[in-house]
Amino acid sequence: MYELRFTPEDLLRSRFAVAPLFETTLAVRSLHDPKRRPYHRPWLRGVEGHGLDLTPLIAVQPLRGWEPDFLSPLPDGPGRGVDGELDRVRTADPARVEAELLRTLQDQADPRLKAVVEALVADPRRAREVLADALELAWRVLVAPYWSRLRDFLDADLAYHARLLAEGGLEKLVPDLDAALSWQDQALLVDRAEEGVFQLSGTGMVLIPSAFVWPGKAVRAENTDPPALVYPARGIATLWSSPPTPSDALKRLLGAVRALLLTELVIPAATTNLAIRHSLSPANVSAHLKVLRDAGLVVGHRYRRRVLYERTALGDALVNGTGSEGEAGE
């Protein structure tokens, strides 16, 4: 059991965040970790033909062991995005880069990949650039083309868990994040093989939902301030699924566009992203969503500056009750 003890200040300063670069490192791991691949087969089919050479990144991600923290800086607030995070990788302290790569070197069991890590350790300043360039490439090819879908998916999780936190505090929130987590006596308990106690220092904890961390989780308490918990976002089974085609009955009832939007909102989504996916104007999508909302078929939840729409129970019943043509993807 691993225990993270919170001070009163930590309780006040803990927050949720989306971390695009952290998600990128996890996406790279999903390419080469056999345990993760089954959960992302539709995504894998879309990215595996690009012929990416991500050997440096794969080398510093041993299947069991330490992965350098400097490669996935925590977001320090909304709005910076992946470019700001990449800048922080490129300017990481060379001494830290060397120390973290040396720790990774000890855990890398593959002789070929171990030689790659050794070459990186020999020149920490060059290692920063090599790894940052590989991360930028991984972001552009593996994550950016899917980011609107991923961002809606992650923001929907944030909105749900923010409401849960407001209703019941950490005691209600923590067990809902992952079955291996519990909250007791102002401490977050993580059920895993490693044992230890870590005392937080008043900076709070960053709670980060992830698609690619599934089926595991990641706790980061060393070499970082504040610490972070990366947990699997809700509804991973629906993330890569293609929504069913609206039935003719639903189209006749609602009209083709409204039927399409209602059917797709099995995964919460923002107006702009729905417009992009279906080559519609945001104003057009907004007008249709207003009609669906007024009819009680969808509801909007605001998270920061974004509003995510999702089906209500009535919307679910209407879609499922009228039937659908075609089958959902994997």
**5 neighbors 202 (Cβ within 8 angstroms):** no
Residues 6+ apart with CB under 8 A from 169: none
Mark whether 221 and 251 lie in a shared domain: no
| Residue at which a domain ends, from 232, 256, 272 | 232
Mark whether 210 and 279 lie in a shared domain: no
Q: What domain count does the chain have? A: 2
* Domain coverage including residue 261: 241-325
Mark whether 170 and 306 lie in a shared domain: no
How far is the C-alpha of 164 from the C-alpha of 167, rounded, in Å?
5
How far is the C-alpha of 260 from the C-alpha of 107, rounded, in Å?
49
Mark whether 219 and 70 lie in a shared domain: yes
CATH of the domain at 275: 1.10.10.10
Pick the closest to residue 131 from 79, 46, 212, 73 (CA basis): 73
| Residue at which a domain ends, from 232, 260, 295 | 232
pLDDT in tens, 50-101: 778 899 999 999 988 889 999 998 877 655 578 889 999 999 999 999 999 9
Q: Which amino acid is at 189?
A: L
pLDDT in tens, 96-136: 999 999 999 999 999 999 999 999 999 999 999 999 999 99
Mark whether 225 and 249 lie in a shared domain: no
Strands in the chain per DSSP E = 2-5, 15-16, 181-184, 187-190, 196-199, 206-210, 218-220, 228-232, 245-246, 269-270, 298-303, 306-311, 324-325
Prediction pTM value: 0.80
Tokens linked to 303:
């998270």
Residue 330 lies in a domain: no
Pick the closest to residue 36 from 208, 216, 156, 202 (CA basis): 216
Mark whether 216 and 254 lie in a shared domain: no
Parts of the chain with a pLDDT under 50: 324-330
Mark whether 158 and 306 lie in a shared domain: no
